[in-house]
């Protein structure tokens, strides 16, 4: 098993390796029993999320706590400018149903509201907004109203797990209630847990995913 100091060093290497993390030296990393805490300041919200993803990819990481702050470079962008930019990107994205999603901006923090038919649409809106200059954080209140019967959802999620090469479906069980997929069992890395969550979220009829997966790294892994 990796020591905390080894995990920390590999996270630092991963942060330096990721081109989306523009200033890795500004990010502090602490590790205790496989649980990682990221601190410091980054210049964009997208970079903040990229740092979390980078840390999650390192084998031996069991959880990541994000305590980084977004410190915008230069003159802060006016909220009305940010809102207008968000309206434009929503308008031009054909994956987002027209007129179904709205954004409010206060001090650079964006709150998303509305209703879509698929979870991927909910995630696509957030993906687009996080790259808008001036955004410091996002609250995603968009709801998903699936068109598929809940009785069909569990089978679809289990099929998705069997197709996904990065998931050991034998150790994961799925329970579905009111279009929420609840995942139980254990995985060998935080990355595998994230892949399982993403696969479940992509299944037709899934509005949200609750992951109760436990990360148990393989013993003897280098």
- DSSP secondary structure, 6-71, as one string: HHHHHHHHHHHH-TT-S-GGGEEEEEETTEEEEEEEES-HHHHHHHHHHHHHSTT--EEEE--EE-
CA angle 50-2-9, nearest 5°?
45
Q: Is residue 10 domain-shared with residue 29, that is, in the same domain?
A: yes
pLDDT digits (tens, 9 = 90+) for 128-178: 999 999 999 999 999 988 766 666 778 888 888 888 877 888 889 998 887
CB 190 within 8 Å of CB 61: yes
Task: Return the axis-axis angle of helices 190-201 and 150-163, rounded to nearest 10°.
Answer: 140
Per-residue pLDDT averaged across 178-184, rounded?
A: 88
Phi, psi of 39 (to 5 degrees): -130, 180
**Residue 165 DSSP SS3:** coil
60: how many CB neighbours lie within 10 A of its CB?
A: 21
* In the chain, % of residues over pLDDT 70: 96
Q: Is residue 192 domain-shared with residue 138, that is, in the same domain?
A: no
Print the domain residue range for 36. Answer: 4-70
Domain end call among 25, 49, 70 = 70
**Residue 148 DSSP SS3:** coil
Domain end call among 70, 88, 108 = 70
Per-residue pLDDT averaged across 113-137, rounded?
A: 91
pLDDT above 70: residue 100: yes
Answer whether residue 220 is part of any domain. no
Answer whether residue 29 is part of any domain. yes
Closest by CA to 206, choosing from 154, 162, 171, is 154
Q: Is residue 93 domain-shared with residue 53, that is, in the same domain?
A: no
Instruction: Output the pLDDT for position 102.
Output: 94
pLDDT above 80: residue 116: yes
Domain end call among 144, 159, 187 = 144
Answer whether residue 51 is part of any domain. yes
Q: Is residue 157 domain-shared with residue 197, that is, in the same domain?
A: yes
């Amino acid at each position: 098993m990796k020591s905390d100091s080894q995990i920390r060093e590999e996270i630092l290497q991963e942060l330096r390796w990721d081109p989306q993390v523009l200033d890795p030296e500004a990010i502090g990393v602490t590790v205790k029993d496989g649980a990682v805490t990221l601190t410091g300041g980054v210049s964009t919200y997208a970079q903040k999320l990229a740092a979390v993803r980078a840390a999650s990819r390192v084998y031996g990481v069991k959880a990541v706590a994000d305590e980084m702050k977004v410190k915008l470079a230069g003159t802060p962008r006016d909220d009305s400018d940010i809102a207008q930019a968000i309206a434009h990107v929503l308008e031009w994205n054909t994956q987002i149903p027209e007129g179904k999603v709205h954004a409010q901006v206060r001090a650079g923090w964006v709150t998303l509201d509305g209703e879509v038919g698929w979870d991927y649409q909910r995630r696509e809106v957030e993906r687009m907004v996080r790259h808008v200059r001036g955004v410091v954080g996002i609250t995603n209140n968009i709801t998903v109203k699936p068109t598929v019967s809940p009785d069909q959802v569990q089978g679809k999620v289990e099929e998705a797990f069997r197709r996904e090469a990065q998931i050991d479906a034998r150790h994961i069980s799925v329970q579905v209630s009111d279009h929420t997929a609840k995942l139980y069992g254990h995985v060998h890395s935080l990355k595998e847990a994230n892949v399982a969550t993403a696969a479940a979220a992509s299944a037709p009829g899934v509005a949200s995913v609750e992951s109760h997966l436990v990360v148990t790294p393989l013993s003897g892994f280098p």
